């Protein structure tokens, strides 16, 4: 198994909050109901993860944001689930596993995604 793609993204949390205020439907368009349970800084980090995954997949058109979900495993570690359009793109690239790391501090949220495959 080898690395097939890497993506990174950073989000200014204050700017993210402004986007949410200006466009109230943004949260529903981008995040699944389970993701919406998180606070603003965590949502910003999840937005960064979705963007980082898109970059790791080559940023193709046609990905649906709800087809990528970033939740927590039982121990608290972030876990990224792919389905639908995102899973199809990953499969077309031979990607079988993704790893995600999230962080938010000092007004910045960030995420790194590493995609592995055959």
**Tens digit of each residue's pLDDT (9 = 90 or more) over 77-101:** 999 999 999 999 999 999 999 999 9
Q: What's this model's pTM, rounded to 2 decimal places?
A: 0.95
> Which domains are assigned to the chain?
2-117 (3.90.470.20)
Q: Residue 12: pLDDT band by 50, 70, 90 thresholds?
A: very high
Q: How far apart are CA 71 and CA 79, in angstroms?
A: 5
Give backbone dihedrals phi and psi of 40, rounded to 5 degrees, phi first.
-60, -45
């Amino acid at each position: 198994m080898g690395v097939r793609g890497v993506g990174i993204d950073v989000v200014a949390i204050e700017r993210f909050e402004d986007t949410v205020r200006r466009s109230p439907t943004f949260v529903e368009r981008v995040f699944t109901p389970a993701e919406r349970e998180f606070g603003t800084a965590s949502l910003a980090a999840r937005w960064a993860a979705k963007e980082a995954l898109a970059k790791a997949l080559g940023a193709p058109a046609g990905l649906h944001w709800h087809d990528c979900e970033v939740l927590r495993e039982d121990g608290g570690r972030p876990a990224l689930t792919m389905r639908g359009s995102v899973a199809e793109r990953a499969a077309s690239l031979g990607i079988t596993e993704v790893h995600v790391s999230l962080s938010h501090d000092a007004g910045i949220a960030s995420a790194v995604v590493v995609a592995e495959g055959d």
